[in-house]
Structure 1
Amino acid sequence: MREQLGNAIAKVVKELTVRDVEPKLEHPAQEEFGDYSTSVALAVISSGSGKSRGDLSSRTPRDDKRSTVTTKWSSPLEFAEKIKEKLEESKMLKGLVEKIDVVAPGFINFWLSKEMLVGEMGKVGELGGSYGSSNVFDGQTVVVDYSGPNIAKPFGIGHLRSTIIGQAIYNLYKFLGAHTVGDNHLGDWGRQFGVLLHKITSGKLNVDGLTIDDLEKLYVEFHKEVEENPALWDEARGWFKKLEDGDPGAREIWQKVKDISLTEFSRIYDLLGVTIDYVYGESFYEKLMPEVVEECKVRGIAKESEGALIVEFEDLPPAILVKSDGATNYFTRDLATIKFRLKEWDPDLILYEVGAEQALHFQQLFEAVRLLGWGGLSPSSERVVPTRFVHIKHGLYLAPSGKKFSTRKGDTIHLEEVLEEAITRAGYLIRGGSRGKTGLELPLSKHPSVSESKFATKVRPEEEVQRDIDNIAKQVGVGAVKYFDLSHHPSSNIVFDWDKIMALEGNSAPYLQYTYARCKSVLTRAADVSSRVEDERSLTLVRDDIMEPEELAVLRTLYKFPEVVEEAARNYAPNIICNYVNDLAQKYNAFYNQHRILPGDGSMSSWLDQDHSDLKTGLNLLGIEAPERM
C-alpha cells in the first residue's frame, strides 16, 4: 500500500510539474496525523527555489521546469493542497484512503480506509505466520557471521549480543526471501592456544578429565605467572608455532580442547534456541592462509617491516599479515575466511555481527579486500554487483556504575549463570512468589473479556502442572534476557537491569508473552463458548462491526508489519521489531481492558486472531518463544 500511495503521489506531481519524483512516505509519530505522511510539496518547492530537501529523488535534468514550480504556487502549503485536490479527483486512491489532509507548512497526511484495514487483516488470517514475509531479497545470498565465542572459555555475557542479534538478522533476511548462510566463526586458533598447550604440558594434565571451567582457570593462572616471569610468553608462542607447524602432540591436545568447548557451546545454544548453519572456526582456514599471503605479495599490497609482513593503507594504520616469528594472526585468518566465503557461497552481502571495539579491524579487512579486487571489485570479475561487506557493531553490557558488566573481582560473567537466574525469577513470577509481586496466572473466568456463565475447570496432575511451569519459566526467563538485549539498538551500550528484564508491564518479553498467551486463551474460550451457543454465529469477519476506537487502533498497527520487517532487515536493527510488537501489545491491551469478546462476535474474534498471530511471528523472528498459556 505504501508503494501504491507513493506511485499515485508521484503521478500527480509529474502532471503538475513535469518532474519525476520518489516521494518519501512515513508513519506519523502521532496517530491523529494519519497513517502516512509526506512532505513532497515542501521538497519540490524548496528544490525549485534552490534549497535542498531530502524527501524526494528527482530524475529530471535541472532546467527551467524548476522555476515553474515556484511561480505557479506561492507556497508549499498551496502546492500540497493542489496535490490533495488532484488525488481526490483522480480516484486513484479509492478503497485505499478515506481521508487526505494538508497541514502547514506543507505536509500531506493520509488515513487508510476501514475497508483496506479489514482487507489487510484478512491477509493476516489467510497467511498466518508467513504474513509479513516477501521475496524482496529473493535471489540474493546473505552470509551472517555471528556468535564466534573463543574455545576453552565458558560463554560470557559479552557473547550474548553477537549471538542473538546475529540470529535475529539471519531470521529477518530468510523471512524476506534471501538465501541465508549463518557461520559461527569460532576463535579456535591463535596465541591463546599456545598458552593452554604450555600449561597442559608443563603441568602434565590429563586433557580428557578437564572441563571448560578448568581450561579457563589455566588462562587465569598463566596470566598471574607471566607477571612474575615474562619469558613464559616465549613458551606460549613456541607452542602455538608448533601447533601451526602440525606437531602431532599439540594437534591432539588442541582437538580435545576444541571438542570440550563445542559440547559446552551446543548446550548453551540449545538453551538460547539458537541454530547456526556452519561452525568452521578460524582453524578451518589454516591451509588457505599461505595462498592469501602469497596473493597479497603478488598484488603488491604486502611489504616487510621489522621482520613482519604488513599491509599498508592510505587512511588507516597498517595491519599485520604475518608476525615476525612467522605466525599468522586474526587479520590473516579473516582474509582467508572471506576468500573461502566468496568462492563457496558467492554472496551478495556478508554481515559481521561483532563488537564495536573491532571497528578498526574490519575497516582494514574490507579495505584489503578492495585492494585485492575480491568480491566483484576486479574488472575481470563476472559478478555484476560487487559483494557488500558490513560490520554491525554492537555495544557493551554495563553495570549501573557505567563500567563494563563483570563480577566484583572483575571477572567475566558467565552467560549460563545469567540465564539460570532469569529462569528462576520467571518461575517466581509465574507462581507469584517473593521475587514477583504477582503471578502471571489469572483465572480466565475472571477476565472481563469473555462472557459466559459457567467454566469447566479441568484438574491436572501436579507433576504435569509442574512440568508446564518449568517449561514456561524457561521460555519466559530466556526470552526476557534476549528481548531486553534486542530491544536496544545494536550499537548502544546496555545497563544490565533485572527489574526491566523481568518487568510485567512495559517493553519486556514477559509482558509480550503474557499478552500473547492471554490473547490465545480468550480466543480459545470464545470459540468454545460460541460452539455451545444455541444460535451460533459464524466467526466470519463483519466489517461494519469494527467501529470501536480501540479496535481501529489495533488494525492501524497490524498493516505496518511487512514494512517493519523490511525496515528492520535493511537497517540491521531487530529493535525495530521490538518496537512494533510492543506497540501492538499495548493497543491490544487497551482494547482488552475496555471491551468483552462475546460468544459469536465474529469481527472481534477475527481481528483478535490476527493480532495474536502477528505477535507470535514478531517474537519468533526475534528468536523468542511465545507460550500458549502462562
Structure 2
Amino acid sequence: MYLEELTSIINHAFLKSGYNIDCKVIPSDRKDLCDYQCNDIFKVAKQYHKNPMEVGEEIVNNLNSNPNITQYFKKIEFVRPGFINLTLSDEFINRYVRITHQDIKNTLELPEKETFVIDYGGPNVAKPLHVGHMRTAIVGESIKRILEFFGHKVIGDVHLGDFGLQIGQVIYAILRDNIQLEDITISYLDETYPKMSALCKEDEAIKEECAKITKDLQDGKEEYIPIWKKILEVSKGDIKAQYDYLDVHFDYWYGESDSYKYLPRTEKILTPWLKTSEGAKIIEVAEESDKKPLPPLIFKKSNGAYLYASTDIATILQRMEDFHPDHILYVTDNRQEMHFTQVFRVCDKTGICSIKKLEHLGYGTVNGEDGKPYKTRNGDTPKLSALFQNARDIFISKKEDNKAMSIEDVDKIVNAILKFADLQNSREKDYIFDLEKFSEVTGKTGPYILYTYLRLNRIIMAERIPKGFTNEIYNEFDRDLRLQILELPNALQAAYDERKPNYIAEYVYNLCVCANAFYQHNNVNKEENQAKKDDYIYVLKTTTDIIRELLHLLIIEIPTKM
C-alpha cells in the first residue's frame, strides 16, 4: 500500500514532464544514503532519447515543486549516473506505523476470496516418518496459513500413500509370520518395512508376490482388507501424533485408496486420448515448446494395475467435484516436477481441470554438512521422532537454566528451531541442516526470534499501552525500527505471490535485529519523558504484534519464558 502511494507520486512527476512510463520505487540497497530509490532514469532516457542527467534533474525539480511533497519525503536527490534517492519524512513513516498498529492487514490490498485445496504431507502408511516429511509438512502448513491470512478458504489434505507396494510388502510379512492383528504395532511396522524393502531388492519372486498382493488389495480382495485397515489405523495414529507435535493439521485425511472409486470414470474421460503401448495405456503430454523431452504418462500398466499418476488424476477429479476449488496446490520434493507436469497436462487436455488452477510447489532436500541428504551417524535417514528428541537434548544442553524449563516451553522452542531453520530458506533450494547452529539464541535462528519477542514483551507488560503517539522520531535506532515496520507488506505480499514463507522469515529476523538495536540504545522503562516513553511503547507494541502474527504464519508458538 505505502509503496504504491510513493510510486504514484514519482510517476506523476514523470508524467508532468511528458514521460508516460511505469516507474517503480524500491527499498534502497544503501540505507546509509537513502530509504528508497527509483532506478528508472536510464529506461526513460533511452525511450525518449534524452540525457539521463537531464531527465533526473527534471524529475527531482518536479517533485520538489509539489507543495505537499514534504508530507512524503524529507529529502529527494538525483545521484549520478541515474538514480533518484528518496528519504522519507517522519510524518509519512509514522502514518504507516499507525496503520500497522491498528491492524496488520490494513497495510495490504487483499485479493478476492477464493478456495484453495493444498495437498501436503503425503507420507506412506507403514513407513516411519523422516526428516523429509517434516519439510513437506512445515512448508505446506505455512503456505496454508499465509493463504488464510490473505482471506482465502483453504482446505488441507494429507493424501496418505495407503495403497502402494509398501502395503503389499508388510501384508506379505504378516501372513508369512502369522502375525495377529493385535500384534501389529508401530514398532512392528517400523521394523518390518525396511526388512521387506531390502528383501524385495534381493529376491525377485518375493517382490512379484508383494506386487500381486498390492494389486489384489486394490481390487478389493477380502482377505487383505482387515490387515490393511489395521496397518492404516496404527500408522495413521503415529503419523497424526507427530504432525500434532509440529502443530500441522489437516482438514481431510484422505488417502490414495479414496481415489480408486473415481478411477473407472477417470479412465472413461481419458479414453479418447489413451493409446496402447506394449500392453499399457498411455497418454501423450509432450508439447512443441518443451525444452526437454517429456515422456507420455502411463495411466494403466499392462497387468491392469494403476499407478500414482492414475490416482493423482482421479484425486483431482474428486477434488473438483467435492470442493470446486479455484486452485489446487501440491507441496512435494522438486524431483516430482516431471510427474506433476504430466498429471497437470493430462487434466488440462481432457477437461478434468484447467492447468491454470494447478500448481506444483517444489522444495529442495535437507542436507548434512557434506552437502548430501541428511543422515544419522550410522548412515540411516533419521526418523522424525528421533530428530525431535535430538533437538530437545541439544537445546537443553546449551544452558543450565534450560533444564528447569517446562516440557511445553521446551517443545515450543524445539519447534521454533526446526521450523525457522527450514522456512528461512527459499523452498525450492536445498539447505544444510546444522542442529547445533540452529539451536543457538544468537544469529538467524528460531530461538533468537522468540527471545527477542519475550524481551520486548517484558518491557511492554511493565507499562500502559498508549492509544496514540506523536510524529517525532528520536534517534537512528528508533527510525530504523519504524522503517522496518513499513516494509512488512512487501514481505507478506511476496510470500503470498510466490508461495514462499522465507520472505516472512527473513523479514521477522530483520525486524528483530532492528528491535534489539533499539533496545540496546533506548532504556524504555527508565525514560523520564512520558511522551517519548509512550512513543517507544507504541512502536514496541506494534513490533511485538507483528512478530506474534508472523510467527503464527511460520507455525511457531511462543513459550512463556526462555
TM over 0.5: yes
Partner of 1:608: 540
Aligned counterpart for 1:108 among listed residues 64, 84, 102 = 84
Show CA shifts across 1:104-149 (max 9, x none). Answer: 222222222211222222223322xx44674623222222211111
- Map of 1:471 onto structure 2: 408
Residues in 2 aligned to 1:227 and 1:5: alpha-carbon distance in whole angstroms: 63
Structure-2 separation of matches of 1:228 and 1:539: 72
C-alpha contact (below 8 Å) 2:263/2:314 kept by paired residues:
yes
The answer as to whether partners of 2:266 and 2:313 remain within 8 angstroms in 1 is: yes
- Kindly state the Cα deviation for residue 627 of structure 1 after the two structures are TM-superposed: 2.6
Contact 1:115 1:543 survives alignment (8 Å): no
Distance between the aligned counterparts of 2:145 and 2:99, measured in 1? Answer: 21
After superposition, residues 511-530 of structure 1 pair within 5 angstroms as 511-527=448-464
- What amino acid is aligned across from residue 374 of structure 2 in structure 1? F
- 5+ residue gaps in structure 2? 287-292
Equivalent residue number for residue 335 of structure 1: 313
Q: Deviations over 1:52-109 (max 9, x none)?
A: xxxxxxxxxxxxxxxxx22xx3x22321221222122234645233222222222222
Written as runs of structure 1 = structure 2, the 5 A alignment for 1:8-27 is 8-17=9-18, 19=20, 21-27=21-27
Q: How does 1:414-493 map to 2 (within 5 A)?
A: 414-429=383-398, 432-433=399-400, 439=401, 469-493=406-430
Q: Does the 8 Å contact 1:151/1:262 carry over to 2? A: yes
What is the DSSP-based 3-state SS (H/G/I as helix, E as strand, rest coil) of the residue aligned with 1:136? coil
Maintained 8 Å contact 2:99/2:106: no
CA distance in 2, matches of 1:401, 1:17: 58
Match of residue 278, structure 1, among 234, 252, 261: 252
For residue 101 of structure 2, what is the aligned residue in structure 1?
125
- Tell me the residue number matched to 1:318: 296
- Using the TM superposition, give the Cα deviation of residue 289 of structure 1 relative to its aligned residue in structure 2, in angstroms: 1.1
Q: Does 1:309 align with 2:246?
A: no
- Equivalent residue number for residue 289 of structure 2: none
Q: Which residue identity does 2:309 align to in structure 1?
A: F
Q: In the TM superposition, what is the alpha-carbon distance from 1:541 to its structure 2 partner? A: 4.4
> How far, CA to CA, are the matches of 2:109 and 2:180 in structure 1?
53
Q: In structure 2, what is the equivalent of residue 448 of structure 1?
A: none
1:71-150 matches, cutoff 5 A: 73=50, 75-91=51-67, 93-127=69-103, 130-131=104-105, 134=108, 136-150=110-124
* Aligned length in residues: 550
Residue 43 of structure 2: aligned partner: 43
**1:388-403 maps to which residues of 2 (within 5 A)?**
388-403=357-372
Alpha-carbon distance between aligned partners in 2 of 1:628 and 1:220, rounded to the nearest angstrom:
41
Query: Could you tell me which residue of structure 2 aligns to residue 501 of structure 1?
Result: 438
SS of structure 1 residue aligned to 2:117? strand
Distance 2:380 2:337 in 1: 24
CA contact under 8 A between 1:169 and 1:573: conserved in structure 2?
yes
Q: Which runs of 5+ in 1 are unaligned?
A: 49-68, 378-385, 434-438, 441-464, 528-537
- The alpha-carbon deviation at position 41 of structure 1 amounts to 2.0
Match of 1:188 in 2: 162
Corresponding residue for 1:595?
522
1:91–1:629: structure 2 CA closer, same or farther, 3 Å change rule? farther
Question: Following the alignment from structure 1 to structure 2, what is the Cα–Cα distance between the partners of residues 581 and 148?
Answer: 29
Specify the alignment match of 2:174 in structure 1. Answer: 200
Q: Is the 8 A contact 1:482 1:624 kept in 2?
A: yes
**1:543 aligned residue:** 470
How far apart, CA to CA, are the structure 1 residues paired with 2:94 and 2:149? 24
Report how far residue 621 of structure 1 moved: 0.9
**SS class of match (1:352):** strand
How does 1:546-565 map onto structure 2 within 5 Å?
A: 546-565=473-492
1:259 CA drift (Å): 1.1
- Tell me by how many angstroms 1:513 deviates: 0.3
Over 3 Å counting, the alpha-carbon distance change for 1:132 and 1:196 in structure 2 is farther
Aligned partners of 1:540 and 1:603 also within 8 Å: no
Equivalent residue, structure 2, for 1:52: none
- Structure 2 residue aligned with 1:460: none
Give the TM-score normalised by the residue count of structure 1.
0.83
- 1:361-400 Cα distance to aligned partner (Å, 9 max, x none): 111112212221333x4xxxxxxxx743221111111121
RMSD value, Cα: 2.1
Give, as a single letter, the amino acid of the residue that structure 2 aligns with 1:209. Answer: D
Match of 1:368 in 2: 346
Q: Corresponding residue for 2:126?
A: 152
Correspondence for 2:381: 412
Residues 110 and 347 (structure 1), Cα distance of their counterparts in 2 relative to 1, 3 Å cut: farther
Mapped pair 1:216 → 2:190:
yes
Contact persistence 1:397–1:405 (CA under 8 A): yes
Q: Is the 8 A contact 1:151 1:261 kept in 2?
A: yes
Asked if 2 retains the 8 angstrom alpha-carbon contact of 1:146 and 1:166, the reply is: yes
Supply the distance in 2 between the matched residues of 1:125 and 1:11 (Cα, whole angstroms). 29
Other structure's SS at 2:65 match: helix
Partner of 2:71, secondary structure, is coil
Using the TM superposition, give the Cα deviation of residue 565 of structure 1 relative to its aligned residue in structure 2, in angstroms.
Answer: 0.5
Secondary structure of 1:596 counterpart: coil
Q: Name the SS for the 1:543 alignment partner.
A: coil
Identity of aligned residues (%): 28
Q: Is the 8 A contact 1:426 1:474 kept in 2?
A: no
Give the one of 228, 233, 238 matched to 1:264. 238
**Residues 161-215 of structure 1: per-residue CA shift (max 9 Å, x gap):** 1110111111111111222221212111122221122111122112332222321
- CA deviations on 1:438-494 (whole Å, 9 max, x unpaired) are x57xxxxxxxxxxxxxxxxxxxxxxxx95x532221111111111101111111112
Which has the larger displacement, 410-419 or 134-143?
Answer: 134-143
Residue 267 of structure 1, CA deviation? 0.9
Residue equivalent to 1:53: none
Equivalent residue number for residue 346 of structure 1: 324
Deviation at 1:227, TM superposition (A): 4.3
The alpha carbon displacement at 1:5 in A equals: 1.7
Once residues 203 and 135 of structure 1 are traced to their aligned partners in structure 2, the CA distance between those partners, rounded to angstroms, is 62
1:77–1:107 contact (8 Å) kept in structure 2: no
SS in 2 for 1:248: coil
